[in-house]
Chain A
């Protein structure tokens, strides 16, 4: 597919084509401004591609699969309580109040925030807010979860803990996940496969399988084959980042 931004006259995505399989965790990594977020917004149905299409093989191309999008931050509605925010996805799909609140309660407990059910987002830390956002995505009956740099606004330690949290929730509640990040380590730690994108306009450079069993430990990042993979992804990206900065090739 392709996406041209109308108001800025910029081609954000060019000839991007890939397939995610059911219950796969697919990580997308690329330099900033490469159209990663645009890609997720197209998958979420917020934007229409200029050309090309999203096909949902499970359903035939006519009908969309239900998606849930998790934003980097500010994805919670400030005027809704934690419980209302978690239940929002179900509410918007017409699930009756009693049912959606029961489901939301269970998931608020699953992310350890039961004491904050009635709190408003401004009363929570950034990390807690992202847990609420993840809970909303998992509790909604979405078939594909779209994560747009969900930990990008967090400090390194909180991020590491929430990565583990995400792995744990995903283990218990399998979904197909498309996860966008600019953090190579995070892409490899979380993903079954890593899709590497070029700078603007975004194209796919390579799709790499991550040879790591689950459950994964952060320590697994020190294995030689994973270090090689990290290095390989970085070499792919470095050229793109240098290009976008107007710098020459490899040093």
Chain B
């Protein structure tokens, strides 16, 4: 049953990801990207992390995609023709991506896990948010503070970049 859902979600995710990079209208790209993000959230549910799925829906589908749609609206991008959508190094780039795919596929297919298993079994992960919160506020408190600083800098930076100066 879980396998069936995995295949459904992954096929939808892959098809919508291909559509994101291949359709010509940026608004359609953004909408297909929303579908792909929702499938990734479903993957997090299959991986027994409902907290991550909620964060994915809130931040990616809620905030990031609204930003993208705003940018498309502000920039007034129309449809582009097919020969406009690629540049002179596109063929080389596509070939490199395919080569990387086969190398990494070989590694994934032949790899083996040798690390020891940790303490968080499926029953311990039932209280998912509690477990993550406890780890985040004890063991990972220093990275947590650094990330909050990154968010502050990004906020100030984004406002400073877009602000128009009236004096000149």
> A and B: partners?
no
